[in-house]
Amino acid sequence: MINAGTLALAALGLPFGSFVLLAVIPPLRRAGRAAGALSIAATGGSLLASLILWRGLPGQPVELQWSWLPAESGPMASVGVLVDPLAAKMLVLVALVSFLVQLYSLGYLEQETAPALGRYFAYHSLFAFSMIGLVLASNFLQMFIFWELVGLCSYLLIGFWYDKPEAARAAVKAFWVTKAGDLGFIIGIVLLWGQAGTFNFIELFAMASGKTLPAAGLGLIMFLIYLGAVGKSAQFPLHVWLPDAMEGPTPVSALIHAATMVAAGVYLVSRVYPLFLLTPDVLALIAWVGAFTALLAATLGLVQADIKRVLAYSTVSQLGYMMAALGAGAAAAGFFHLLTHGLFKALLFLGAGAVIHAVGTNDIWQMGRLGRAMPQTAIVFLVGTLALAGIWPLAGFFSKDAVLAGVWEGGLTVPFLMLAVTVFLTAFYMFRVVFVVFFGSGHAEGHPHDAPLVMTVPLWILAILTVGAGIRLAVGGDEGAHSPGWVPWLSSALAVAGIAGAWLTYQRGTVSADALVRAFRPLYFAAVKKFWLDDLYGAIYRGVFLGVSWGVGWVDRYLVDGVVNLASAWTLRWGDRLRQIQTGRAQDYLYGVALGLLLVIVWSYWR
């Protein structure tokens, strides 16, 4: 049995090695597919290491530490890896999805030029390294560094097609909006360090359980740390970047903006859950914001015509579920939903990618009857959709029930109702997509067909895992077993109602979609406008930031520059006047000398 720490370091080091090789050897990077092979091999090795690590996990958390930032009273911070069940599960998810997505990208991006492909895989290696580093981080400081690195990778990969203006804008938007949350995160970390004197998770947990952590200001600190999660995990009101991030290549959306990076916020809260337990107010806030985000994003998902945007809003919505569970005290349920969601949402995105690859558009109204043309994609997409809707016996059913039960038992009735409504809406909007795209009466351009093997294999693996995990849970069924008996029935009934509603509306046409729009006209209008949040941010930007900039510009132009100009003008004028005393006559200078001499003599007498 190999040492757990070594395995963790191998999982971390392999993608890093691949990234460094691709970064410093340009011919290798420009080779395109060879770069992809290297990156995939490294991530595959990472996956292998994490699987072995996960299967043979010791009972105690494994921690490796190296001191860093030396100071007089011991090192200020250390770097290291921390492996416990939480990190190991997340590690497997990250490595698995990274591996499958990179494999899939070989097929999806075959049209790209070789240098672009090499760049893409270099970014992917960097992302795998950063995300694994984030998962394995043993202290806040290291986590923050990797947290920013994944943000950078997200920026780079959203803007992969950087000559497309929307993609470049979306990349910048994603960067700035998440950065707004990260500002809170780093302030929180530093404040916590000021209180506790350490960044290390294990030491902080020991302090939390020993009640030696100073309680003063802890609520504010944990709120600030939660802000980082708000930005990264696209919680209201910072969720606006995630739908725009869909401008990136679809595999990137599957990996970063569905399965792994956006879940980092949820992972962060799970990771330091013992600290959050000390601040029940912040937890309640997390639950309310999570439930509200889930509902809001679901209503937004209803009106989107872009298949990837529907999935993006559904991701925001499901992240809201996870956060709500964490806030309600059901940390295990929230993290469980993170894992299952990572599987089936990656599956859905990759399936959507296969559709987009075949049809050449994102607009669901330009697709139709694809179930016949691409049966494999249709089956796996249906599996993913059923899992997302929460249908027995797929993985999503169990995790969603655990979340709902956890929120109910946490005594949060209103968030529970929001989440229950969201179950219905989720089923409705996802099956709207399924019916319109795969069974609807529309007609797609060209002759779409199933994707090549390199793309379908990852799809099938994810589909089998989604089903397999669900069946294993249905047979074993230890997770969520303690929930109230009526919760699974309620959620299933709501999901089936949603599916039926979508079927009646978009397949049979019994209920006219236009009639629905008329019935909910104000809500529909607001959802189409994204509840004016983007406009609000735009107005704030224009009003506040441009206003302040204008003021600063005025001060610089007229006050600062004015003083400088005044000084120079006065210097010129007085220089001009002083020039007059230089007559050029030697005798006048001699007068000066004689006068000086006289003064010296007088002064020496009077001294």
Partner 1 sequence: MGLQPYLILAACLFAIGLFGVLTRRNAIGILLGIELMLNAVNINLVAFARYAADPAGLIFTLFTISITVAEVALGLAIVILIFRVRLTVEADHLDLLKG
Closer CB to partner 1, 551 or 592, in the complex: 592
Q: What is the Cα–Cα distance from 135 to 82, expressed in whole angstroms?
A: 9
Closer CB to partner 1, 508 or 577, in the complex: 577
In angstroms, give the least distance from the CB of 606 to partner 1: 19
Question: Which among 439, 461, 430 has a CA at the least distance from the CA of 378?
Answer: 439
Q: What is the Cα–Cα distance from 270 to 88, expressed in whole angstroms?
A: 13
Question: Which among 285, 181, 286 has a CA at the least distance from the CA of 224?
Answer: 181
> Is there a contact between 315 and 345 (Cβ–Cβ < 8 Å)?
yes
In angstroms, give the least distance from the CB of 601 to partner 1: 11
In angstroms, give the least distance from the CB of 573 to partner 1: 15
In angstroms, give the least distance from the CB of 575 to partner 1: 10
Interface size with partner 1, residues (CB under 8 A): 12
Helix (H) or strand (E) holding 133: helix 114-136
Q: What is the Cα–Cα distance from 399 to 333, expressed in whole angstroms?
A: 6
Closer CB to partner 1, 513 or 590, in the complex: 590
> Is there a contact between 312 and 242 (Cβ–Cβ < 8 Å)?
yes
Question: Which among 325, 160, 375, 332 has a CA at the least distance from the CA of 257?
Answer: 160
Binding mask 526-565 for partner 1 (x = CB under 8 A): ----------------------------------------
Closer CB to partner 1, 464 or 594, in the complex: 594
Instruction: Choose one: 180-188, 470-478, 520-528, 582-590; the region binding partner 1 (CB under 8 A).
Output: 582-590
Closer CB to partner 1, 111 or 587, in the complex: 587
Closer CB to partner 1, 522 or 575, in the complex: 575
Helix (H) or strand (E) holding 243: helix 241-244
In angstroms, give the least distance from the CB of 598 to partner 1: 10
In angstroms, give the least distance from the CB of 580 to partner 1: 7
Q: Residue from 211, 447, 579, 607 that binds partner 1 (CB under 8 A)?
A: 579
Secondary structure class of 130 (helix, strand, coil): helix
Q: Residue from 584, 603, 604, 607 that binds partner 1 (CB under 8 A)?
A: 584
In angstroms, give the least distance from the CB of 597 to partner 1: 9
Closer CB to partner 1, 522 or 584, in the complex: 584
Closer CB to partner 1, 59 or 584, in the complex: 584
Q: What is the Cα–Cα distance from 592 to 588, expressed in whole angstroms?
A: 7
Closer CB to partner 1, 165 or 584, in the complex: 584
Buried b (16+ CB within 10 A) or exposed e, 155-175: bbbbbbeeeeeebeebbebbb
In angstroms, give the least distance from the CB of 571 to partner 1: 15
Interactions with partner 1, residue window 60-79 (CB under 8 A): none
Question: Which among 289, 229, 218 has a CA at the least distance from the CA of 261?
Answer: 229
Token couple for 373 = 């043309």
Interactions with partner 1, residue window 166-205 (CB under 8 A): none
In angstroms, give the least distance from the CB of 576 to partner 1: 10
Q: What is the Cα–Cα distance from 285 to 439, expressed in whole angstroms?
A: 42
Q: What is the Cα–Cα distance from 307 to 305, expressed in whole angstroms?
A: 6
Report if residue 582 touches partner 1, rule: CB under 8 A.
yes
Q: What is the Cα–Cα distance from 449 to 357, expressed in whole angstroms?
A: 10
What one-character DSSP code corresponds to residue 452?
A: P
Q: What is the Cα–Cα distance from 478 to 282, expressed in whole angstroms?
A: 29
Closer CB to partner 1, 67 or 583, in the complex: 583
Report if residue 525 touches partner 1, rule: CB under 8 A.
no
> Is there a contact between 336 and 479 (Cβ–Cβ < 8 Å)?
yes
Closer CB to partner 1, 580 or 604, in the complex: 580
Q: What is the Cα–Cα distance from 583 to 8, expressed in whole angstroms?
A: 86
> Is there a contact between 265 and 290 (Cβ–Cβ < 8 Å)?
no
In angstroms, give the least distance from the CB of 543 to partner 1: 56
Q: What is the Cα–Cα distance from 317 to 422, expressed in whole angstroms?
A: 8
Unique residue bearing structure tokens 């990618």: 353
In angstroms, give the least distance from the CB of 176 to partner 1: 58
Closer CB to partner 1, 552 or 595, in the complex: 595
Instruction: Choose one: 157-165, 256-264, 552-560, 575-583; the region binding partner 1 (CB under 8 A).
Output: 575-583
The backbone torsions φ and ψ at residue 213, rounded to the nearest 5 degrees and listed phi first, read -80, 125
Q: Residue from 514, 580, 603, 606 that binds partner 1 (CB under 8 A)?
A: 580
Q: Residue from 583, 596, 600, 602 that binds partner 1 (CB under 8 A)?
A: 583
Instruction: Choose one: 147-155, 459-467, 486-494, 578-586; the region binding partner 1 (CB under 8 A).
Output: 578-586
Interactions with partner 1, residue window 585-604 (CB under 8 A): 585-587, 590-591, 594
In angstroms, give the least distance from the CB of 579 to partner 1: 4
Closer CB to partner 1, 453 or 593, in the complex: 593
CA angle 532, 533, 534 (to 5 degrees): 95
In angstroms, give the least distance from the CB of 570 to partner 1: 18
Unique residue bearing structure tokens 């895992």: 465
Token couple for 421 = 């409504």
Q: Which residues bind partner 1 (CB under 8 A)?
A: 579-587, 590-591, 594
